[in-house]
Structure 1
Amino acid sequence: MGHHADHDAGHDGLDVRVVRTDAAYEDALAVRFAVFVEEQGVPEDMEVDEHEDDAVHFVAYLDGDPVGAARLRGTGDDAKVERVAVLPGHRGAGHGAEIMREVEGVAAARGFDRVALHAQTRAAGFYDRLGYERVGGEFEEAGIPHVEMVKPL
């Protein structure tokens, strides 16, 4: 399929799916590894952690290729969004916002009142535009500065 094929997916042809198969999970992990491990230097054993099994995973496809990923898990009253990633060659096209819309929809459907996330500080502006607000100061995770952000659903 070329880039001009008709899609009933998102406005930009992005197809964001909840992971329901091993193959889709492998696709999501491939995106996460490319971004967090290879690009940003996060250790492999930190990238895949003990929460994989109790999270809802998302993978975003463009023309059949995985280009984005995220995961969602409940922590008390909050739905926590983690591991939001878009491959370097596909940034700036609105894909991240589309992934977040899908994740927030699933969180809302599961009865959560708000979504929380640890944003890399340099990405805080992206989440700010999506309606997230910073809570507290900066901290480090995997050697990268982050801020906690929350959004009511």
Structure 2
Amino acid sequence: MNRQDFRFTERLRVRWAEVDLQQIVFNGHYLMYFDTAVAGYWRALALPYQDTMAELAGDLFVRKSTVDYLASARLDDLLDVGVRCHRIGNSSMVFQCAVFRGEHCLVHGELVYVFADPATQTSRPVPPAFRAVLEAFEAGQPMVEVKVGGWAELGEAARRIRTQVFVQEQRIPAELESDPADADCLHALAVNRLGRPLATGRLLQQAPGVARLGRMAVLPVVRGSGVGRAVLDALAAAARTRGDHMLLLHAQMSAAPFYLRAGFGTRGEVFEEAGIPHVEMGRAP
């Protein structure tokens, strides 16, 4: 197998606990590597696994695992674990996995899953919508759609995401999270191919030609999959369309690297907002 055969790979570093007395990764850990990468694969599909399976009224159960060992990984090796959906039957799905060190394939194998009733573990046909998502991903298609509109249209879903991220996760008081500006802002909402909202943000007209990006929130289960960047890009495009020449935001310090990668630069000193360290950042839209 070759790296280019896989649209998705998960980067892992071999840990001390995974190496045996032969100074190589213990053979059983490669199945753990496969499983870790499969979890990342669902994230790349923008499918929160538990919520998705509940919505589909089923779950995936492993029917068979095979592993072919070609060479050994060692302590501190950086590995890329590729996952792809190779075949979808009536109720079964075959995933191919491979562990690469650089361009060298060390281990490869297959995981056969059966879609089944979670209570009785009796097989069910793979739902057409689920099948379509898998096929679209492997064909290179985008996994999220970003809707841009007003609060009346997008506010209910945006509020749920913001409440989970800001109020429940970050413990920001609800009265600080919500403000009257929502009614006048342009909002963005990222939804996956099953229609589930995953991320949101808003664009406020601070002054003529100056837009302020805010309330950027991504559900934890899909962070790092590009969903937040899709929301950011959609709002930046909206700012350009209306003629703004500057895009500003107050970034939480933990999120500053995300904005730096998106081309933002810092402006001024760190300050506290809602009890959390922030820094102002800006760039042209």
Structure 2 length-normalised TM: 0.50
User: 1:24: Cα distance to partner?
Assistant: 2.6
* 1:12-57 deviation digits (Å, cap 9, x = unpaired): 4111101347453201111111100110011111111121111111
Mapped pair 1:74 → 2:218: no
One-letter identity of the residue aligned with 1:50: P
Larger radius of gyration: 2
Superposed counterparts of 1:9-28, under 5 Å: 12-20=142-150, 22=152, 24-28=154-158
- Secondary structure of 2:248 counterpart: strand
Q: CA deviation at 1:117?
A: 0.2
Counterpart residue identity of residue 201, structure 2: A
SS in 1 for 2:278: strand
- Give the aligned length: 151
In structure 2, runs of 5+ residues without a counterpart are 1-128
In 1: Cα distance, 2:135 partner to 2:247 partner: 34
Tell me which residue corresponds to 2:51: none
* Larger RCO, structures 1/2 (Cα 8 Å, 6+ apart): 1
Q: What is the deviation of 1:120?
A: 0.3
Q: What's the CA shift string for 1:63-118, capped at 9, x where partnerless?
A: 21000000001111310000001000010101111111101000000110010000
- Residue number in structure 2 paired with 1:56: 186
What TM-score do you get using the length of structure 1 for normalisation?
0.92
Contact 2:266 2:281 survives alignment (8 Å)? yes
**Partner Cα separation in structure 1 for residue 150 and residue 275 of structure 2:** 32
Contact 1:19/1:56 (CA < 8 Å) preserved in 2?
Answer: yes
Aligned-pair identity (%):
37
Which whole-Å CA distance do the structure 2 matches of 1:12 and 1:124 have between them? 25
Alpha carbons of 1:55 and 1:20: their partners in 2 closer, same or farther (altered >3 Å)? Answer: closer
Aligned AA for 1:48? S
Q: Counterparts of 1:29-108 in structure 2 under 5 Å? A: 29-62=159-192, 63-76=194-207, 77-108=209-240
Aligned residue for 2:280? 148
User: Structure 1, unaligned stretches of length 5 or more?
Assistant: none
**Alpha carbon RMSD of aligned pairs, Å?**
1.8
4+ residue stretches of structure 1 with deviation over 4 A?
A: none
